[in-house]
Homo-oligomer: A and B are copies of this chain.
């Protein structure tokens, strides 16, 4: 029986977006079960004394990343709208509320659909996903009740779960997103999605 693959993603991460939009089809093709796992890169980057994304700290790397993501997105049939080129937009966006809502949604069966909708809002539609009024309609579109979800998302138990996810990421030596884990075997980056699923399928 194939192993479960854990999909670690951060809502501010462009390569997490690319992986989120194609992982279900690739997993289904191999009969691999997925466990979607939102987490935050900010605390992981802070461990390295990075105040923000390396794509901001190192301009050549950032310049390249956007060109690369644009090329990869085109290959997958996705449209990129750079969040830092929308009116008032920034990169990286603050994915905290989206991550907490996603945890609530995963318990209730709408987390994966919400995650894809939030990624599309952030990277294709030019929306600010730190805003409640942007995220609430995405919750509603999954058939859930936005007000209850927002209350649950900001409850201390949910906050603690997200902090625990970051702790677990550290223990697994995760340093970027997306990451994929099968037990302690780690794969990093959208480019390793197929390898990670193949590994899970044969483990």
Contacts and interface: CB of A to CB of B under 8 A. Distances in A.
Contacts of A64: 173, 175, 186, 188
Given A71-B195, A191-B191, A195-B71, A61 B186 contact: no
B173 A68 contact: no
Contacts of A85: none
Interface of A: 48, 58, 60-61, 63-64, 67-68, 71, 173-175, 186-189, 191-192, 195
Nearest to A191: B191
A175 B67 contact: no
A173 B67 CA distance: 12
Contact of A48 (B58, B173, B191): B58
Given A60-B174, A64-B175, A68-B192, 14 more contacts: A48-B58, A58-B175, A60-B173, A60-B175, A61-B175, A63-B173, A64-B173, A64-B186, A64-B188, A67-B186, A68-B187, A68-B188, A71-B195, A189-B191
A48 to B, nearest CB: 6
A174 B60 CA distance: 7
Q: Which among A60, A174, A186, A192 has the greatest number of chain B C-beta atoms within 10 A?
A: A60
Contacts of A60: 173-175
A49 B195 CA distance: 34
A65 to B, nearest CB: 9
Contacts of A174: 60
Contacts of A195: 71
Nearest to A61: B175
Contacts of A58: 48, 175
